[in-house]
Amino acid sequence: MRVDPTSGLVEGARYVPSPNQDERPAGVEPELVVVHGISLPPGELGGPWIDHLFTNRLDPEAHPYFREIADLRVSAHLLIRRDGELVQYVPIHRRARHAGVSRWRGREAVNDFSIGVELEGTDELPYEEVQYRRLAELVRALAELYPKITRDRIAGHSEVAPDRKTDPGPAFDWERLRSLLREG
């Protein structure tokens, strides 16, 4: 896996451009990967809904829960689906709106200096082995482009926004990810 340094796109990812992005602050490069978990509607896997949410096309009438979130203007850089498919919404060098009000190691505004990676899943449902492998490949590719990204610079959404978020949840096996990163 490779990240094109000019376009910020990950080789092999399906690109679905999100309007919910902008420039990072001047002189700021990614140095943290934030791991998220997402399912839309909550607890349901598959379907087009994540793409629709991140591209502001979520139909509030398609599901009762969507009425609550249809006006959100959020995004992530990438999504890893249950089957390992990689979907990219925001070029890596740009700022995605994935962490919200957040803090990491005393530093506010995590979106400014992080890359948001969504894993299709829930807090309680074990993630798929292919998702861990794809995430490890992705972290290695990101670290090649941005040397500040290391094994100790990967955090869950719950770590950067602990009062608001629980994902990727207790079902996420951090030791499995660390093991795969050590192998690489």
Residue identified by tokens 């994935």 is 98
Q: In this structure, what are the phi and psi dihedrals at residue 51, rounded to the nearest 5 degrees?
A: -55, -45
How would DSSP label each residue in the chain? --B-TTT-PBTTPEE---SSEEEPPTT----EEEEEEE-SSTT---SSHHHHHHTT---TTSSTTHHHHTT-----SEEE-TT--EEE-S-TTEEES-S-S-EETTEE-GGGGEEEEEEES-SSSPPPHHHHHHHHHHHHHHHHH-TT--TTSEEEHHHHSTTT--TT-TTS-HHHHHHHHHH-
How far is it between the farthest Cα atoms of the chain?
46
Q: Is 144 a catalytic residue?
A: no
Q: How many CB atoms lie within 10 A of CB 94?
A: 14
Catalytic residue among 11, 29, 118, 175: 118
Kindly list the catalytic residues. Answer: 118
